Amino acid sequence: MDILISNQSNQPIYEQIYHQIQRQILEGSLSAGTEMPSIRALAKDLQVSVITTKKAYELLTSEGYIETVKAKGSYVAQIDREFIKDKGLTEIKKKIKELVLEAKRYDIQPSEFLELVKKEVEE
Amino acid sequence: MDILISNQSNQPIYEQIYHQIQRQILEGSLSAGTEMPSIRALAKDLQVSVITTKKAYELLTSEGYIETVKAKGSYVAQIDREFIKDKGLTEIKKKIKELVLEAKRYDIQPSEFLELVKKEVEE
Amino acid sequence: MDILISNQSNQPIYEQIYHQIQRQILEGSLSAGTEMPSIRALAKDLQVSVITTKKAYELLTSEGYIETVKAKGSYVAQIDREFIKDKGLTEIKKKIKELVLEAKRYDIQPSEFLELVKKEVEE
Amino acid sequence: MDILISNQSNQPIYEQIYHQIQRQILEGSLSAGTEMPSIRALAKDLQVSVITTKKAYELLTSEGYIETVKAKGSYVAQIDREFIKDKGLTEIKKKIKELVLEAKRYDIQPSEFLELVKKEVEE
DNA sequence: GTGGTCTAGACCACC
DNA sequence: GTGGTCTAGACCACG
């Protein structure tokens, strides 16, 4: 597994694992049906507690990214891209709204905010 | 004080207080020199512990939004808008970066992200 | 009385009053026998509480700078300059010692410290 | 941990803890990466409240001397000696200024003050 | 009355 | 186990 963990980050380790696996599934580098490493193997690999990888897998399962077959293992699920993207759009739109508001409080006007985003995106 | 507390929120109460007061100062509805309610009075008003309001005031003090005089009270400080905006820019840029990354995870490409922001800003 | 009070200072107001009167007595601008303003008059003048000026006068009395005659008023005392200076020397030497130690912790060597003092003194 | 607490001192306990740990880090007896005792363990060791050690650690964190990882512990940070010295210089200069003023109050003139410092430094 | 400091508990998320 | 947050008390110096 291609996963990097940062102990300094404020982000919980299980979320870091979740996000990086989610990313690989969405990008297609992990395709449907692929067998995932076992919770224990991954924990050993990443030098984290089994509890932590278990939590990450539970999150991935509940969000529909992987499927777990008892006593066999976990497999990448067939994901519904439309559904995922829809959920993502709603989420991202909400966050953009919030960020625009926060920027205003710092006297950063929407037009200025848009410029910042353009700069970031063009890089 | 015009402050609303949510016990349900993941955000610590002292941060909620901090942000709402900060917003009122930045918006100008609390102007420099205005006397703030005492930490005890505010605690009673908001039905939270004195320590919680104290923490919020400490944050506001360390960020330069208010000034505290022992045995006297706290007062809205003369804020340096230039400085605040600079700090805000750094903060907002960081958050934009993070949001662009999050969007990518949902298969929302930067160009598409930019469109979402444009739509939001033009409203 | 020529006294300036700062509400923002961390120094208690009664100490500010004490130091400024002590200074004037040591400098000679207030000479022995001079009648001091009453506690109440001074409080009114400086816009502080009577308790505060009372505390300052008590300090000045206990340190021998003024003498209070019941129902008459307070008068600048005949000060023993030798004694005062001796006490001061002990105090200042102790503080220099501490400051040299603190400087060392910041990697500021004694020779460097001496230079800083020279610069300050020459101004 | 090599820390001595005085309940008699005017200095708050959390500052005493802060200063002693800061000193050990600056002196190098605590080197970067070293794990600090947990706030609870230290509190028990020093017989003070957890909140007191927490406050000391918060101060150390905000000043960049240690780094704290939630649910992991605190570690001595890689300190920037240049930065520390700069901050120290500002601090020491300020204190020299104050001390020169205090000396004047005791009729110790700047030139005499300089002599005292010389004597102290040459020892 | 004010803020500053401290105490002895408690629950939470995370590991 | 860890640190983060919160509570309900307390005493102090200052005004």
pLDDT digits (tens, 9 = 90+) for D66-82: 999 888 899 999 988 89
How high is the pLDDT of residue D27? 87
How high is the pLDDT of residue D102? 87
Cβ atoms of D93 and C111 within 8 Å: the answer is: no
Distance from CA of C11 to the nearest CA of B (A): 10
Q: List C-alpha distances in Å: B57 to A120, B33, B39, B62, B72.
A: 34, 15, 8, 9, 14
B25-56 pLDDT per residue, tens: 998 899 999 999 999 999 999 999 999 999 99
How high is the pLDDT of residue C53? 94
The Cα C105–Cα A38 span in angstroms is 52
Whether B75 sits with its Cβ under 7 A from any strand E atom: the answer reads: no
Mean of per-residue pLDDT scores for chain D:
91
CA of C86, C1' of E5: distance in angstroms: 35
Low-confidence ranges of chain B (pLDDT < 70): none
CB contact under 8 A, D72 and A7: yes
* pLDDT (mean) for C68-95: 90
Distance from CA of D67 to the nearest CA of A (A): 8
How high is the pLDDT of residue B59? 92
Name the nt closest to D69 by C-alpha to C1': F3
CB contact under 8 A, C10 and B67: no
Instruction: Please give the helix or strand (H or E) that residue B3 lies within, else none.
Output: none
Q: How many CB atoms lie within 10 A of CB A26?
A: 19
C22-61 pLDDT per residue, tens: 989 988 899 999 999 999 999 999 999 999 999 999 999 9
The Cα D60–Cα D62 span in angstroms is 6
pLDDT tier at C84, thresholds 50, 70, 90: confident
Cβ atoms of A21 and A42 within 8 Å: the answer is: no
Q: Cα B77 from chain centroid?
A: 15
Asked whether the predicted pLDDT for residue D21 surpasses 90, the reply is yes
Q: Read off the tokens for B83.
A: 């400085």
CB contact under 8 A, B72 and C7: yes
Asked whether the predicted pLDDT for residue C20 surpasses 80, the reply is yes
pLDDT tier at C79, thresholds 50, 70, 90: confident
Residue C10 burial by CB count (10 A; 0-12/13-18/19+): exposed, middle or buried?
Answer: exposed
Strands (E), C7-115: 66-69, 73-76
How high is the pLDDT of residue A8? 78
Name the nt closest to B49 by C-alpha to C1': F7
CB contact under 8 A, D99 and C97: no
Q: Chain A residues with CB inside 8 Å of D69's CB? A: 7-8
Q: Chain A residues with CB inside 8 Å of B105's CB? A: 19, 22-23, 26, 88
Q: Chain C residues with CB inside 8 Å of D104's CB? A: 23
Cβ atoms of C75 and C34 within 8 Å: the answer is: yes
pLDDT values of chain A reduced to their tens digit, one per residue, 123 residues: 789 998 878 889 999 999 999 989 988 899 999 999 999 999 999 999 999 999 999 999 999 999 988 888 899 999 888 888 898 899 999 999 999 999 998 889 999 999 999 999 987
Chain B contact present for A104, CB below 8 A: no
How high is the pLDDT of residue B55? 93
CA of B96, C1' of E9: distance in angstroms: 42
How high is the pLDDT of residue A10? 81
Q: Which amino acid is at B104?
A: K
* pLDDT (mean) for D14-39: 92
Q: Give chain C's count of helices (H) and strands (E).
A: 5, 2
pLDDT tier at C89, thresholds 50, 70, 90: very high
Find, among D80, D75, D79, the residue nearest to D57 by Cα: D75
Give the orientation angle of helix C81-105 with respect to helix D81-105, to 10 degrees: 180
Q: Chain D residues with CB inside 8 Å of A10's CB? A: 70
Exposure letters B83-116 (e unless 16+ CB within 10 A, then b): ebbeebbeebeebbeebbebbbbbebebeebbeb
Q: Report the protein residue whose CA lies nearest the C1' of nucleotide F12.
A: D10
Instruction: Please give the helix or strand (H or E) that residue A76 lies within, else none.
Output: strand A73-76
C74 - beta bridge partners?
C68
φ, ψ for residue C65, nearest 5 deg: -85, -30
Name the nt closest to D70 by C-alpha to C1': F3
DSSP result, A27-73: HTSS-TTPBPPPHHHHHHHHT--HHHHHHHHHHHHHTTSEEEETTTE
Q: Read off the tokens for A29.
A: 């580098």
CA of D95, C1' of F6: distance in angstroms: 38
Angle value at C-alpha D5, between D42 and D22, nearest 5 degrees: 70
Q: Cα dihedral sign for D66, D70, D72, D73?
A: positive
Cβ atoms of D75 and D35 within 8 Å: the answer is: yes
Report the length, in residues, of chain B. Answer: 123
Q: How many CB atoms lie within 10 A of CB B123?
A: 8
* pLDDT (mean) for C101-114: 92
Q: List C-alpha distances in Å: D15 to A49, D42, D85, D116.
A: 36, 14, 20, 29
CB contact under 8 A, C117 and D113: yes
List all nucleotides in chain F with at least one atom under 7 A from a protein Cβ: 1-10, 13-15
